Amino acid sequence: QLQLVESGGGLVQPGGSLRLTCKTSQYTLDYYAIAWFRQAPGRAREGVSWISSSDGSDEKTYYVDSVKGRFTISRDNAKGTVYLQMNNMTPDDTAVYYCAADLFADGDKWLDQTEYDYWGQGTQVTVSS
């Protein structure tokens, strides 16, 4: 099965930035829609952002309201990777961040975790002063 690995997490002060990377050592991610989810301590896992696969159609992205304008999801098709650039971070962004892959998706149900075929192990992001 597809093995996903997240990286780039760590400690950052409020107002700072981090860039997370989702990649696979086995295949390219270009053919998959990719979502970022996060789970804060004591809370359920929630959707953060989504990007469509590189299928020749116009690229589509989605964000939850709490990160819109601060976070940017993007692809590097040559590297077969997906990024989540997180700017102006707040303590509310503290969570374990996961990427998830869906081979067949149009984004209508991107917040439904059952839509995703593969999940990474998660990377810890802590925003604290």
Question: What's residue 75's pLDDT?
Answer: 95
Q: Is the pLDDT of residue 55 over 80?
A: no
Question: What's residue 65's pLDDT?
Answer: 98
String of DSSP letters for 111-128? T-GGG-SEE---EEEEE-
Judged by average pLDDT, the poorest of 26-30, 57-61, 78-82, 98-102 is 26-30
Q: DSSP character for 27?
A: S
